[in-house]
Amino acid sequence: MNVLVYGAGQLAQMMYLAGAPLNLNVLAVDVANKTVVHPVEKTVLPQSLEQAINDADVLTVEFEHVPEELLLVAEESGKLSPNLQSILVGADRVREKHLLESLNIANCEHEIITDIAQLDGICERLGEKIIFKSSRDGYDGYGQWRSSTAADLPELKNIFTKLDLHKVPIVAEKMCPFTRELSLLGARNESGEIVVYPLAQNTHHEGQLHTSIAPAPLLSEALQAQALDIFTRLAEKLEYVGVLAVELFEHDGVLLVNELAPRVHNSGHWSMHGADTCQFENHLRAVCALPLGSTEHGPAAAMINIIGCNTFSKNFLSISGVHFHWYGKTVREKRKMGHINVTANSYADLADKFGNLSEYLPMEFFPKLLADADRIK
Amino acid sequence: MNVLVYGAGQLAQMMYLAGAPLNLNVLAVDVANKTVVHPVEKTVLPQSLEQAINDADVLTVEFEHVPEELLLVAEESGKLSPNLQSILVGADRVREKHLLESLNIANCEHEIITDIAQLDGICERLGEKIIFKSSRDGYDGYGQWRSSTAADLPELKNIFTKLDLHKVPIVAEKMCPFTRELSLLGARNESGEIVVYPLAQNTHHEGQLHTSIAPAPLLSEALQAQALDIFTRLAEKLEYVGVLAVELFEHDGVLLVNELAPRVHNSGHWSMHGADTCQFENHLRAVCALPLGSTEHGPAAAMINIIGCNTFSKNFLSISGVHFHWYGKTVREKRKMGHINVTANSYADLADKFGNLSEYLPMEFFPKLLADADRIK
Quick: pLDDT tens for A264-317. Answer: 999 999 999 999 999 999 999 999 999 999 999 999 999 999 999 998 999 999
CATH number at residue A126: 3.30.1490.20
Q: Nearest Cα to A136, choosing from A86, A95, A108?
A: A95
Q: Where are the beta strands (DSSP E) in chain B?
A: 2-6, 25-30, 35-37, 58-61, 110-113, 130-134, 144-147, 170-174, 180-188, 194-196, 200-205, 208-214, 242-251, 254-261, 300-307, 322-326, 336-344
Predicted local distance difference test score (pLDDT) of residue A143:
87
B333 and B247 in a common domain: yes
Of B22, B276, B318, the CB nearest to A343: B276
Same domain for B279 and B334, yes or no, is yes
Decide if A90 is inside a domain: no
* B193/B131 same-domain check: no
**Is there a single domain that holds both residue A341 and residue A195?**
yes
Domain range enclosing B354: 180-376
Residue B314 shares a structural domain with residue B193:
yes
Q: What is the pLDDT of residues A180-220, one digit of tens each?
A: 999 999 999 999 999 999 999 999 999 999 999 999 999 99
Q: Which of B47, B324, B345, B349 is the best substitution to test chain A (most A C-beta atoms within 10 A)?
A: B324
Q: Which residue in A324, A325, A330, A343 has the most chain B C-beta atoms within 10 A of its own C-beta, making it the best mutation to test that interface?
A: A324
Phi then psi dihedrals of residue B342, to 5 deg = -130, 130
Same-domain status, B243 and B164:
no
User: Are A162 and A184 part of one and the same domain?
Assistant: no
Of B285, B326, B343, the CB nearest to A23: B326
Domain annotation covers residue B96: no
> Cβ–Cβ of B320/A21 closer than 8 Å?
no
Evaluate whether residue A85 is within a structural domain.
no
Say how many Å lie between the first and final Cα of chain A, rounded: 45
CATH number, residue B271: 3.30.470.20
The reply to whether B325 touches chain A by the CB within 8 Å rule is yes
- Which among B23, B41, B321 has CB closest to A328? B23
- Tally of domains within chain A: 3
A200 and A304 in a common domain: yes
What pLDDT is stored for residue A242 in this prediction?
98
**Which parts of chain B have pLDDT scores under 50?**
none
pLDDT, tens digit, for every residue of A155-183?
999 999 999 999 999 999 999 889 999 99
A96: in domain: no
What letters, b where the CB count within 10 A reaches 16 and e where it falls short, cover A337-357?
bbbbbbbbeebebbbebbebb
| Average model confidence (pLDDT) across chain A | 96
Do A185 and A275 belong together in one domain?
yes
**Is position A243 within any domain?**
yes
- Is A314 in contact with B328 (Cβ distance < 8 A)? no
Instruction: Kindly determine whether residue A13 and residue B22, on different chains, have CB atoms separated by under 8 Å.
Output: no
A268 is in an annotated binding site: no
In a domain, B363, yes or no: yes
pLDDT at A137 over 90: no
Of B174, B193, B223, the residue at which a domain comes to its end is: B174
What is the pLDDT at residue A139? 73
Adjacency order of strands within the sheet including A170-174: A110-113, A170-174, A130-134, A144-147
Same domain, A184 and A167: no
- The ipTM value here is 0.96
Structural domain contains residue A232: yes
Is A86 inside a domain boundary?
no
Q: Does residue A312 belong to the interface with chain B, where contact is any CB pair within 8 Å?
A: no
Q: Choose one of B128, B150, B174: the last residue of a domain.
A: B174
**Does A285 contact chain B (CB < 8 Å)?**
yes
Whether A208 has a binding-site annotation, put simply, is no
Percent of chain A whose predicted confidence (pLDDT) is above 90: 96
How far is the first Cα of chain B from the last one, in angstroms, to the nearest whole number?
45
A290 closest CB neighbour out of B285, B293, B314: B314
Question: Are B32 and B166 contained in the same domain?
Answer: no
Tell me which H or E stretch contains A157. helix A153-161
**Are B72 and B115 found together in one domain?**
no
Question: Does residue A346 surpass a pLDDT of 90?
Answer: yes
Q: Which distant-in-sequence residues (6+ apart) come within 8 Å of B352 by Cβ?
A: B344, B373
Task: Give phi and psi for B290, each to the nearest 5.
Answer: -100, 160
Q: Is B266 helix (H, G, I), strand (E, B) or coil?
A: helix
